[in-house]
Amino acid sequence: MVLTSTVKMPILSIQDRGRAIGYLQSGQSVRRVARLFNVSPTTISKLNRRYIETGNVRDRPRRGRPKATTPVEDRRIRTLALRRRFITAPTIGTAINAARGQGVRHVSSATIRNRLHSQGLRSRKPARKPFLTRRHRQARLLWARNHARWTRQEWRHVLFTDESRFCLQHNDGRIRVWRRRNERYKDCCVKGTKQGHGGSVMVWGGVSEQEQTQLVFVDGNLNGQRYINEVLEPVVLPLAQNHGDQFILMDDNARPHRANLVHRFLADHHIQRMDPWPSCSPDMNPIETLWDQLGKAVNDRIQPRDRLPQLRRYLTEEWNNMPQQRIARLVTSMRRRCAALIHSHGGPTRY
């Protein structure tokens, strides 16, 4: 006995069906047209017969299983999902079934999800952004409008600064494990954690289009005096003196940054500050993207036995290896960031 394998032939689109009929009407043979479209001659022959009988090349209507929902219910499912974006499929199903009343077959959650999929709605993890009140949105929009016309030459003199905390043990949701059924708690499939994330360090850094500062490790709580002694005086002041009157310091509204003695220090040394900085606006600070990239690079190097000294070394090495070209691209995105903030009327942006 000889075994033959069957190869599934491709399905012709409506456009290809029309082209095939055109070739047949021009005198081409069925076999030649079949070779052109990589289908069997039987497919072309049936297509030609259907065109002669019906005058079109569309599929004949088929009887299938009737839909569990009506068009009106489909629109209601879509409306409920669009009005309440965090609503679940079982909740929508409960609303639809309640409207149907007793004695009518209930709609399942799978049917609800299928209707939403057909409407182009998919269940995804929501983007995490700071909670914005109306006051926050107004302040963000005003700031974006005031800086929307800044040129690249003006942005290049801004030093964007920020603090960030890095932990030895950190799960940012990107970690996945390949496992078989009933292997959830096997040693090879478990990610070990430590109480307190195994220790952490806080760092301060600053970047501009032309340069980046050294990474400053902040041990303990940061206050206004320590901000001056450990950051402003040894790091920011020399940069400001090199840039001259065009230098602008960008720091957020953290309490140590807005202390009165910090204001006096900046005024005494003629350091201009980008003020007022809108609250809850990490998307407007390019260094936030660098913190994320730095965290990914360090997490790839951390080993289970590493301690805080190794974490400090990894942070310093990865920070110093940041390409200045990458930093410059982030700084030059400020005009696009302002435009995106204006477009969203002060709301969340993609940055």
DSSP of 268-321, one letter per residue?
Answer: HTT-EE--SPPSS-GGG-THHHHHHHHHHHHHTT--TT--HHHHHHHHHHHHHT
* 181 shares a domain with 281: yes
pLDDT at 192: 66
* 144 shares a domain with 23: no
Is 191 domain-assigned? yes
Q: 75-87, pLDDT tens digit by residue?
A: 999 999 999 989 9
Distance, in Å, from the CA atom of 328 to the CA atom of 212, rounded to the nearest integer, reads 10
Is 3 domain-assigned? no
* 107 shares a domain with 203: no
* 227 shares a domain with 338: yes
Q: Which of 318, 276, 289 is nearest to 207 (CA)?
A: 289
Report field, pTM of the whole predicted structure over 0.75? no
* 106 shares a domain with 183: no
pLDDT at 7: 40
* 109 shares a domain with 151: no
Cβ atoms of 349 and 169 within 8 Å: the answer is no
When divided into structural domains, the chain yields a total of 3
* 214 shares a domain with 110: no
Single-letter code of the amino acid located at 87 = I
Distance, in Å, from the CA atom of 88 to the CA atom of 95, rounded to the nearest integer, reads 11
Is 277 domain-assigned? yes
pLDDT at 61: 73
Which DSSP category does 133 fall into?
-
* 237 shares a domain with 169: yes
* 236 shares a domain with 171: yes
pLDDT beneath 70, residues of the chain: 1-11, 170-175, 192-198
Distance, in Å, from the CA atom of 32 to the CA atom of 24, rounded to the nearest integer, reads 9
Beta bridge partner(s), residue 161: 206
* 211 shares a domain with 235: yes
Q: 253-293, pLDDT tens digit by residue?
A: 899 999 999 999 999 999 999 878 899 999 999 999 999 99
Q: Which of 292, 299, 301, 298 is nearest to 175 (CA)?
A: 299
Is 97 domain-assigned? yes
Is 64 domain-assigned? no
Residues whose CB is less than 8 angstroms from the CB of residue 321 and which lie 6 or more positions away in sequence, other chains included? none
Is 118 domain-assigned? yes
Q: What is the CATH number of the domain that holds 224?
A: 3.30.420.10
Is 168 domain-assigned? yes
Is 6 domain-assigned? no
* 115 shares a domain with 143: no
pLDDT at 172: 55
* 253 shares a domain with 155: yes
Print the domain residue range for 88: 83-125
Q: Which of 264, 201, 274 is nearest to 233 (CA)?
A: 264
